[in-house]
A and B are shown apart, each in its own frame.
Chain A
Amino acid sequence: MATPRLSTNLSDEDPESTGQEVAWTAAVPLRGRATVAGTPGTGGRLLSTVLNGLKKYTTLLVLLILMALFSFVSPYFLTSRNLINIVLQNTYFIIVAVGLSFVMIGGGIDLSVGYQMSLVGVVTAMMMVVYQLPVWLAVGIGLLLGTTLGLINGLIVAQIRTFPLIVTLATSTIFQGISYLISQAKTYRNYPAEFLFIVNGRVLGLPFDVFLALVIVICAHFIYSETRFGLRLIALGGNEEAARLVGLNTRFIKISAYTLCGFLVAIATMVMLAKANTMNSSFGPGTEFVALTAAIVGGVSFVGGEGSIPALVAGVFVLAVLGNGMQLAGWGTYAQYIVRGIILLGAVVFDEYQKKTRRALR
């Protein structure tokens, strides 16, 4: 996509420029000197500034409170062993959530990520176990497949311009059906040692999957704050009509977001596969709910345009800590479902409330 350079009449480069970095979401619109100067605002604006400032740290705050809470409930909770376990169990959720954030911040939604994992997972597993392909080839095929699934979602959403919720709901069941057809509902286990490097290997002293998640998180943060694509994606999510009017190729951006999501979901699938060392078509579905909840808890707006990667990661850990803590407290899995649902509702209400205050203050 070529961007015409229309501007001239610029002053020359000035290395001592004052342009400091600024956060890219509305969650942190005013900070530093910005809070004081300019807008003839009064109490209302100040209140909303405080609210917005808080929002940036809300998720982290909630996480810390939960951790403090559970440390009282169970002495085992705050042990390093338990905390490390929490991290290890959630690397692939983080990767999926990051993938989903591209779609959501761009104003879309992808409900099919769990089913993409199911399909990519069985295909990759069968390539290794049944067809005995070399690991790199099996993984390559899996990543390509995942990317293609994302591309398909993107093409449909961009082409027929309908609710992405419905589109990806439809592709979900298609992916699931194909997954079962291919796997014949069988289980494929015991992968080559090279593949299990994903969970057993270490890079820079970190377990490989943790390292991978970290790299992905950093890259995503960089994309949002430093790249032209990131800015355009955020703009598209904020106001699609305006994006069109400033000449953005909205279809291309949408398709890219879904494709990127598919690629990251495929990477997450490899981690899931290596962790379980077994795969069948029922693995994967359900991940979309966790990732979606984590994203919304982490301040990613479900109408697009807003979100931050650090908060998103904190969102994943809020859910993780909650699950872990409740288990330690002996609450069982079913209660966790209920609590998760309530948390999702709570996050949505909080988000909506904040939007209303902001609108009212205008």
Chain B
Amino acid sequence: MSARAEYIVEMKGISKRFGGVQALKNVDLELRYGEIMGIVGDNGAGKSTLMKILAGAYVADEGKIYVDGREVHIRNPLDAARLGIGMIYQDLALFNNLDVARNIFVGREYTRGPFGILLDKKRMYRRAEELIRELRVDIGSPQFNVAMMSGGQRQMVACARAVAFQTRILIMDEPTAALGVREASRLLSLIRDLRDRGISILLITQRIPDVLAIADRVFVLKGGQRQDVMEVSKVTLDDVVTMIVKGKERGGNGDAQVEYKSFG
């Protein structure tokens, strides 16, 4: 990479509508290299939708996305993966009928044989074991079935999958929401770990204290519109909460709030 861009990801003027719901309206987002950015906002604010657009699960109606300063077209999850973008979905999107290794690799299997039609199971299990070791997560063997796992372990499997393939940008959608205190704090330290390895992280969460504890900046959405991006070191919990609830007092966003209220 030559002249390094200022931001690893830039989203510009992103809009997305689901039928009658304007989920996102002209949203800009910039993610710095190696930072953890918290994404906060009320239920239905559009957090998941914005991140799913970056991960290729949805395609925006309008707007542009830049990675390393270059415009990219992310039409599906594989496009995103190719750009090093991995996402842990709010509902985890795991396969309960498969074991850990298969959950990690399905869709991007190691293969052998003519045209790669045969699974290279040995290699998948070995790599899965490595990942488990690297992440220092407690999910036992890659041969365990995920259906039987605790919420925290399932979160870890989803995480292992999201970082398994040269991921540089990791999106996590409310990863601590279903976790107990202990598992949540373990996850937070894992997130720091990943950041220290150079992964830039977008962390959606409802737990503002978590954001203040580990994020560098916090991005506030309300009614599908960007309110503010704040340096965590310069704000208090109250500032963030106020921003989430009241939004930035600026003209012309009344409409969005009405829409949001009627559909949220």
Contact = CB atoms under 8 A, between A and B. Distances in A.
Q: Do A and B come from one complex?
A: yes
B99 to A, nearest CB: 6
Contacts of A34: 140-141, 143-144
A237 interface: yes
B119 A238 contact: no
A74 B139 CA distance: 53
A239 B153 contact: no
A229 B117 contact: yes
Contacts of B144: 29-30, 34, 38-39
A218 to B, nearest CB: 15
Given A232-B107, A246-B93, A247-B107, A6 B98 contact: no
Contacts of A7: 108, 110, 127, 164-166
B118 A306 contact: no
B121 interface: yes
Do most interface residues of chain A lie in helix, strand or loop, or is the interface mixed?
loop
Nearest to A246: B107
A19 B123 contact: yes
Interface string B58-101: 00000000000000000011100110000001000111111101
Given A3-B111, A14-B126, A228-B109, A29 B141 contact: no
Contact of A6 (B82, B94, B121): B82
Contacts, number: 168
Contacts of B106: 231-232, 235, 243, 246, 248
A3 B116 contact: yes
A353 to B, nearest CB: 16
A75 to B, nearest CB: 44
A228 B119 contact: yes
B131 to A, nearest CB: 10
A10 interface: yes
B185 interface: no
Nearest to A229: B117
Interface stretch (A20-28, A89-97, A146-154, A324-332): A20-28
B231 to A, nearest CB: 32
B76 A247 contact: yes
A39 B96 contact: no
A13 B102 contact: no
A3 B108 contact: yes
Interface string B143-159: 11101111001000000
B57 interface: yes
A361 interface: yes
Interface in A163-180: none
Given A19-B142, A20-B143, 8 more contacts: A19-B129, A20-B125, A34-B144, A39-B140, A39-B153, A228-B117, A234-B98, A306-B97
12 contacts: A3-B109, A4-B81, A13-B123, A18-B125, A19-B142, A26-B145, A29-B99, A29-B144, A29-B145, A30-B145, A30-B148, A238-B96
